[in-house]
Amino acid sequence: MRILPSDQAVLDHVAARQDHIIGRAVEWSNMNSGSRHAAGLEAVLALLEAEASKLPASVERIATAGSTTIGDDGAVKAEAHADALKITCRPDAPLQVVLTGHYDTVFSETSPFQTLTTRADGALNGPGIADMKGGISVLMAALEAFETHPDRERVGWTVLLSPDEEIGSPASAPLLAELGARGHVGMTYEPALADGTLAGERKGSGNYHLIVTGKAAHAGRAFHEGANAVAGAAIIAARLHALNGQREGVTVNVAKISGGGALNVVADNAVVRFNVRVPDAQASAWVSETVRRIATEPPFPGLTLDLHGGMTRAPKPMDSSQTALFNAVRDAGALLGQTIAWKPSGGVCEGNNLHAAGLPNIDTLGVLGGDIHSDQEFAWPDSFVERAQLSALILCKIASGEIDALKLKSLRLETM
């Protein structure tokens, strides 16, 4: 593998647009798009749509599925979500690449962290600048440059930008599954670590909400006529916590117990919210069955239990397809003078969804940064061009066949 003159022209295209690549990410970062901030999501989506329209591709908004939320009082409510943005070029080409990103952030409409600043060391500090508005700009820059390559006709590509990744992709999961099944290689733009290290093997994740319903009664006059839902929830939380250590790599995090009311009333409602992480499919099956069993065993009479949620992202192991793809990306990076390394991660992202659908993928191709999900979130400006060039070169090498997308897909299907 070597950099050909046609490849170099693509890389030069990226380098010449550095200010624009960084500038649009800064603009997007300064506009709040928390996962449940409808107006903010709409505003950012409009900006992304306008930018995507400059590509030689079809651009369309795709309605996402609804989902349900569980209130602290146990009420089950329907929730609508913003549209996804789908950008498609050459859908009939022999090789298909799926590129994904999300335009929502973890920062709510009322978060005090709303604007981007530049730190004394030059890093950009802003909401979503690394996770992942910077990544979306890198994604677009790579495609803008690749579309100047003479072998581009061999590769079709589809971009999906979703509005709900930070809350587990409840609405965009079907879209990710559909694209993952159709594509040959996936590229996702979560940030790399500050030193450029990629996430390799990823755990799977599940989010659960267990509604505990009891019976209200006066705490003094008729205590024994009631059934205390909060007490029941606490017992169940302890049972869930006790699962930790029972199977290697499995963690159960009881995140919140809500419910109850006045001190002189036996609580008739509570909700236990918890997350599970699993290393493989067998562990996922075990924890799913164990949670279901716990949710069918009220700790004392008078309580009813209603379990919602489940495994939202399957584990993403370093199977043969993933190993081959990472090695190819490492080789491409070496041509650019970039050292590409990877390590396991307990975190999850859209890469889990794509892998579960049969798509080998690299899911940390975004900018170099850190402290995501906090008001210290940052990205290094120099990494925007560096990472866009890496993605552009990967696309060039898929087009030339030096990265064998068909073989990668075949390897993935063999392990399903």
Interval 77-113: pLDDT, tens: 999 999 999 999 999 999 999 999 999 999 999 999 9
The average confidence (pLDDT) of the chain is 97
Q: How far is CA 137 from CA 126, 133, 407, in A?
A: 15, 6, 29
Q: Is the pLDDT of residue 193 over 90?
A: no
Where are the domains positioned within the chain? 5-72+81-203+315-414, 207-313
Q: Is the pLDDT of residue 316 over 90?
A: yes
- 416 pLDDT tier (thresholds 50, 70, 90): confident
Interval 206-215: pLDDT, tens: 999 999 999 9
- 244 pLDDT tier (thresholds 50, 70, 90): very high
What average pLDDT score do residues 109-128 get? 97
Instruction: Please report the pLDDT score of residue 195 as a whole number.
Output: 86
What average pLDDT score do residues 279-283 get? 95
**Cα–Cα distance, 199 to 134 (Å, whole number):** 17
Of the candidates 349, 312, 315, the residue with the CA atom closest to the CA atom of residue 170:
312
Counted residue by residue, the chain has a size of: 416
What average pLDDT score do residues 52-71 get? 95
Segment among 12-16, 214-218, 346-350 with least mean pLDDT: 346-350
Instruction: Please report the pLDDT score of residue 194 as a whole number.
Output: 80
CATH fold group of domain 207-313: Alpha-Beta Plaits (3.30.70)
Instruction: Please report the pLDDT score of residue 253 as a whole number.
Output: 98
Q: Is the pLDDT of residue 49 over 90?
A: yes
Q: At what angle do helices 134-146 and 5-16 cross, to 10 degrees?
A: 140
Interval 362-382: pLDDT, tens: 999 999 999 999 999 999 999
Per-residue HEC secondary structure of the chain comes to CCCCHHHHHHHHHHHHCHHHHHHHHHHHHCCCCECCCHHHHHHHHHHHHHHHCCCCCEEEEECCCCEEEECCCCCEEEECCCCEEEEEECCCCCEEEEEEEECCECCCCCCCCCCCEECCCCCEECCCHHHHHHHHHHHHHHHHHHCCCCCHHHEEEEEEEECCHHHCCCCCHHHHHHHHHHCCEEEEECCECCCCCEEEEECEEEEEEEEEECECEECCCCHHHCECHHHHHHHHHHHHHCCCCCCCCCEEEEEEEEECCCCCEECCEEEEEEEEEECCHHHHHHHHHHHHHHCCCCCCCCCEEEEEEEEEECCECCCHHHHHHHHHHHHHHHHCCCCCCEEEECCCCHHHHHHHCCCCEECECCCEEECCCCCCCEECCHHHHHHHHHHHHHHHHHHHCCCCHHHHHHHHHHCC
Of the candidates 225, 285, 229, 280, the residue with the CA atom closest to the CA atom of residue 257:
229
Instruction: Please report the pLDDT score of residue 66 as a whole number.
Output: 87
What contacts 121, CB < 8 A, 6 or more positions away? none
Instruction: Please report the pLDDT score of residue 308 as a whole number.
Output: 96
Q: At what angle do helices 320-335 and 382-400 cross, to 10 degrees?
A: 120
Q: In CATH, what number does 5-72+81-203+315-414 get?
A: 3.40.630.10
